[in-house]
Structures are given as C-alpha cells and as structure tokens.
Amino acid sequence: MDKNEQFEALGGRKILEVVAKEFYDRLYEHPWLSKFFEEIPQERIEKQQVDFMQAALGGPNVYCGSLPIPAHQHIYIDEEMFDLRQVILIEALKKCGSSTELIDKWLKIDSSFKSRIVKSSIAECEKRFFTDNILAFPNPKDQRKAA
C-alpha cells in the first residue's frame, strides 16, 4: 500500500472531518479552552486542522497555514492546558469510532509538538505581527480557588 492508500485505510479525509467537528465542538464549549478561540470561526480552524492532519498522516498535502510552532507563538499554553486538550482530543477520536491505529498515529503527531508549543511562562510568548494579541487566560478553576 502506498502512503495515500494507507491514509484512505485509516478513514481518509471523511474521518478527519468528523473528528475535527467533534473535537472543536467540545473545545468551543469548554469553560477554559474556548477562550482561546473567541476570535476564530470554528469552520476555519476545523478546516485547517483537517488539512494539516491529512498531510501529516500521508494524504494529499493541501495545507496552507502556518506550521504549529509559529502558529502558537502568541499563545500561552502551559502543560496542564496541553494535556487537557489531548484528553478532549482522545474523547473525540473515540466518540467518532476511530481505529486504534488512527488514534495512535494522530496522538503521536500531536504529541511531537508538545515540547515546542508548551511555554513555561507568558514571557516566552511572541506576537506574530505588530497588531497581534498575546493570548493568555488562567484556568477558571484556579481563579475560583484564589477568590
């Protein structure tokens, strides 16, 4: 099987679209993670994620966004947030009936960016362009504890 046949055997673009919809439905409803997506139309990020994963999983490369490291340089992502996002991703993958092979491959790709996306302080964030905003939101759970 060539690379594209392997991608099709995993479920092809269709399964990526179903998982991305389920995943971002959950992120856009989440009390903490939703804050990072307030300015981003859900359909746009879903399409970017599907295009990106399609190329990363060996399917046709039609992705034309930034690579994950520059795409997140303005976002204060700590380890707790990264791990929480991954728990939600696993739930979405399972809910959509993904094969174990797809889950393993998707998580391997996702995790490979962890050390370069996670920051140890807000000072590590950098604007992507002059008028960009640094995105940093504390976990609402910690704010309740502090109050």
Task: Please give the residue ranges that form the binding site for ligand HEM (CB under 6 A).
Answer: 36-37, 40, 45, 48-49, 52, 65-66, 68, 71-72, 75, 77, 81-82, 85, 110, 113, 117
Rounded Cα gap, residues 64 and 41, in angstroms: 17
Compare residues 12 and 65 and give the one whose CB is closer to ligand HEM: 65
Compare residues 95 and 127 and give the one whose CB is closer to ligand HEM: 127
Residues 88 and 136: beta-carbon distance below 8 Å: no
Least distance in Å: CB of 43 to ligand HEM? 12
Place of tokens 């673009």: 13
Residues 102 and 10: beta-carbon distance below 8 Å: yes
Three-class DSSP category at 82: helix
Q: How many CA atoms lie within 13 A of 78 on its CB side?
A: 10
Least distance in Å: CB of 40 to ligand HEM? 5
Q: Which residue is at the shortest CB distance from ligand HEM?
A: 65
Compare residues 8 and 88 and give the one whose CB is closer to ligand HEM: 88
